[in-house]
Chain A
Amino acid sequence: GAGVSQSPSNKVTEKGKDVELRCDPISGHTALYWYRQSLGQGLEFLIYFQGNSAPDKSGLPSDRFSAERTGGSVSTLTIQRTQQEDSAVYLCASSLALSSGGVTYEQYFGPGTRLTVT
Chain B
Amino acid sequence: RKEVEQDPGPFNVPEGATVAFNCTYSNSASQSFFWYRQDCRKEPKLLMSVYSSGNEDGRFTAQLNRASQYISLLIRDSKLSDSATYLCVVTLTSGGSYIPTFGRGTSLIVHP
Residues of A within 8 A of B (CB): 33, 35, 41-43, 45, 48, 56, 58-59, 91, 98-99, 102-104, 106-112
Residue B1 is within 8 A (CB to CB) of chain A in the complex: no
- Taking each of A91, A107, A112, which has the highest tally of chain B beta carbons within 10 Å of its own beta carbon? A107
Q: A42-B87, A42-B105, A102-B31 are in contact. Are A107 and B100 (CB under 8 A)?
A: yes
Closest approach, in angstroms, between the C-beta of B47 and any C-beta of chain A? 10
Q: A43-B87, A59-B99 are in contact. Are A112 and B31 (CB under 8 A)?
A: no
CA distance A108 to B36 in the complex (A): 10
Between A and B, how many residue pairs show CB distances below 8 Å?
54
Extra contacts, 7 of them, besides A43-B102, A104-B93 (Cβ < 8 A), are A42-B87, A45-B100, A56-B98, A56-B99, A99-B93, A102-B31, A109-B43
**B99 to A45, Cβ gap below 8 A?**
yes
Q: A42-B87, A104-B91, A106-B34 are in contact. Are A33 and B100 (CB under 8 A)?
A: yes
**A106 to B98, Cβ gap below 8 A?**
no
| Chain A residues near B42 (CB-CB < 8 A) | 111
Closest approach, in angstroms, between the C-beta of A36 and any C-beta of chain B? 11
Closest approach, in angstroms, between the C-beta of A91 and any C-beta of chain B? 6
| Chain A residues near B43 (CB-CB < 8 A) | 91, 109-112
Q: Residue on A with the closest CB to B91?
A: A104
- Taking each of A41, A99, A110, which has the highest tally of chain B beta carbons within 10 Å of its own beta carbon? A99
| Chain B residues near A48 (CB-CB < 8 A) | 98-99
Q: Which of A41, A102, A109 contacts B104 (CB 8 A)?
A: A41
**B46 to A106, Cβ gap below 8 A?**
yes
| Chain B residues near A107 (CB-CB < 8 A) | 34, 46, 100
| Chain B residues near A99 (CB-CB < 8 A) | 32, 93, 98
